[in-house]
């Protein structure tokens, strides 16, 4: 059994990309992602990693370089965050529509203005509909694991979609914690390099991602969406987690339940605050409260069936978003609520927003949220939305 090593989570992410034996890294440094790309640049410079590191002039160029690199069949990695991801936005749609595999670690950060380098999920939600497979992780080990998992899924011939691994800025990126690093042989066994079936080659020139006039654009987008939400892609995602577990001993699922047995009140969280929320659930269970938590890992394609299955017996569902959608419902809440709308016995769904721009949500905050859930169970609620811990 491999030993736990003290590593900054950003260094662990870079280490995962190295162990995945990436061929090309094109990235532009931005807080809180900087340590990842600095570490990779250093690994390439000192010969530890045999890859091309392309020091581009912007995130827009980073993604453009990654698209070209992926199209040649090279294993391609990048990383960004917040404003950087926004500058990259225009080019994000091209990978999925051209079926180009690659992996990006996103160190979730709030968006300007006002300027904030700290974490929340605004950047993730802004790229929600770009067509990337997207997962959220909760700790450093999961961040490391999901880089390997992401390459396996992305390059699977049943999939061929790019994958984003979201891990919270600072609350994950800048923390030193114990990480179990696998043996290279195990990684190689989990992650062979499949040949990209449509790789560009001078002997067989083709055009990719050409323009589409109205007579064909709808058909292309429909084909893309059908592939993305297909059982084959879902199976590949699940199979990759299963194989990962069989080799490394850590098993993951699209939605993960904790102490949900008989739960009347359910919390729904995503990302690094989930484990803090689990402590609050433990405390409330000790008080005899029937409360549990489900944590969304797979964000796109959205795991409708798993969510429905896990919340069907709850009376109150409390969804935490780390992002606002001005003038509308918060994104995770909106998704969960819409997912349950057709159900005969649907629970009441309540929206909490918190942890904006790096503000902590502590155990006590989660306990208060749970208490409010039980109060709603008793007395109902006229409100459907609350921002946690905001000053008047």
Partner 1 sequence: MNGTTEIRWHGRGGQGAVTSSELVSYAAINEGKYALSFPSFGPERRGAPVLAFNRIGEEHIRIRAEVTEPDIVVVLDPRLFRVVNVASGLKPGGIVIVNTKKSAQQLRDEFGFDSTLGAVNATRIAWDILKVPITNTAMLGALVKGREVVKLDSLIEPVKDRFGRIGDINVEALKKAYEETVISEGT
Q: Which residues bind partner 1 (CB under 8 A)?
A: 4-6, 31-32, 117-118, 170-172, 174-178, 272-273, 275-276, 278-279, 358, 360-363
Residue with smaller CB distance to partner 1, 53 or 248: 248
Pairing of strands 163-168, 52-55: unpaired
Output the smallest distance, CB 372 to partner 1, in A.
19
Residue with smaller CB distance to partner 1, 227 or 363: 363
Tokens of 280: 């609050």
Tokens of 123: 């950047």
Output the smallest distance, CB 167 to partner 1, in A.
12
Helix, strand, coil % (nearest 5) of the chain? 40, 20, 40
Output the smallest distance, CB 140 to partner 1, in A.
9
Residue with smaller CB distance to partner 1, 168 or 306: 168
3-class DSSP state for residue 79?
Answer: strand
Output the smallest distance, CB 52 to partner 1, in A.
30
Residue with smaller CB distance to partner 1, 236 or 276: 276
Q: Which residue has the tokens 């429909």?
A: 222
Residue with smaller CB distance to partner 1, 119 or 301: 119
* Cβ contact 369:338 at 8 Å: no
Helix 363-379 vs helix 274-286: angle between axes, to the nearest 10 degrees?
Answer: 60
Residues 205-236 as b or e (16 or more Cβ within 10 Å = b): eeeeeeeeeeeeeeeeeeebeebbeeeebbeb
Output the smallest distance, CB 316 to partner 1, in A.
23
DSSP secondary structure string, 266-322? Answer: EEEE-STTHHHHHHHHHHHHHTT--EEEEEE-EEES--HHHHHHHHTT-SEEEEEES
Output the smallest distance, CB 136 to partner 1, in A.
14
Output the smallest distance, CB 250 to partner 1, in A.
12
Tokens of 93: 């749609």
Residue with smaller CB distance to partner 1, 54 or 363: 363
Q: Angle 180-164-214 (CA atoms, 0-180°, nearest 5)?
A: 165
Phi, psi of 386 (to 5 degrees): -150, 140
Beta-carbon contacts of 7 under 8 Å, excluding residues fewer than 6 positions away, are: 15, 140, 176, 177, 178, 179, 181
Output the smallest distance, CB 107 to partner 1, in A.
12
Residue with smaller CB distance to partner 1, 114 or 214: 114
Residue with smaller CB distance to partner 1, 9 or 339: 9
Alpha carbon distance 161, 196 (integer Å)? 12
């Amino acid at each position: 059994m491999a030993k736990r090593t003290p590593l900054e989570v950003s260094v662990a992410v870079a280490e995962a990309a190295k162990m995945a034996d990436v061929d090309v890294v094109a990235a532009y440094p931005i807080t809180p992602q900087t340590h990842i790309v600095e570490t990779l640049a250093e690994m390439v410079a000192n010969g530890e990693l045999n890859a091309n590191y392309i020091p581009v002039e912007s995130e827009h160029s980073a993604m453009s370089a990654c698209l070209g690199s992926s199209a040649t069949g090279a294993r391609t990695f990048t990383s960004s965050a917040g404003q950087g991801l926004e500058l990259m936005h225009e080019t994000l749609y091209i990978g999925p529509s051209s079926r180009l595999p690659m992996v990006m670690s996103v160190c979730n950060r709030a968006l300007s203005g006002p300027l904030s380098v700290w974490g929340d999920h605004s950047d993730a939600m802004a790229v929600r509909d770009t067509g990337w497979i997207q997962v959220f992780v909760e700790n450093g080990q999961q961040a490391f694991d999901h880089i390997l998992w992401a390459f396996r899924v992305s390059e699977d011939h049943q999939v061929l979609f790019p994958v984003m691994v979201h891990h919270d800025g600072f609350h994950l990126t800048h923390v030193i914690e114990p990480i179990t690093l696998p043996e290279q042989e195990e990684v190689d066994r989990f992650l062979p390099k499949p040949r990209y079936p449509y790789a560009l080659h001078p002997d067989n020139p083709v055009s990719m991602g050409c323009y589409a006039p109205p007579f064909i654009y709808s058909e292309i987008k429909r084909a893309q969406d059908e592939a993305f939400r297909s059982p084959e892609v879902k199976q590949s995602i699940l199979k990759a987690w299963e194989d990962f577990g069989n080799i490394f001993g850590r098993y993951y699922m699209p939605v993960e339940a904790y102490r949900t047995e008989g739960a009347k009140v359910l919390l729904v969280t995503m990302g690094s605050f989930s484990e803090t929320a689990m402590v609050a659930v433990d405390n409330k269970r000790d008080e005899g409260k029937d409360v549990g938590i489900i944590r969304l890992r797979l964000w796109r394609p959205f795991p409708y069936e798993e969510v429905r299955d896990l919340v069907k017996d709850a009376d109150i569902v409390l969804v935490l978003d780390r992002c606002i959608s001005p003038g509308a419902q918060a994104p995770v809440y909106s998704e969960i609520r819409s997912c349950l709308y057709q159900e005969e016995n649907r629970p009441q769904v309540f929206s909490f927003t918190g942890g904006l721009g790096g503000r902590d949500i502590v155990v006590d905050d989660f306990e208060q949220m749970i208490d409010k859930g039980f109060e709603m169970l008793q007395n109902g609620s006229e409100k459907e939305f609350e921002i946690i811990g905001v000053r008047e």
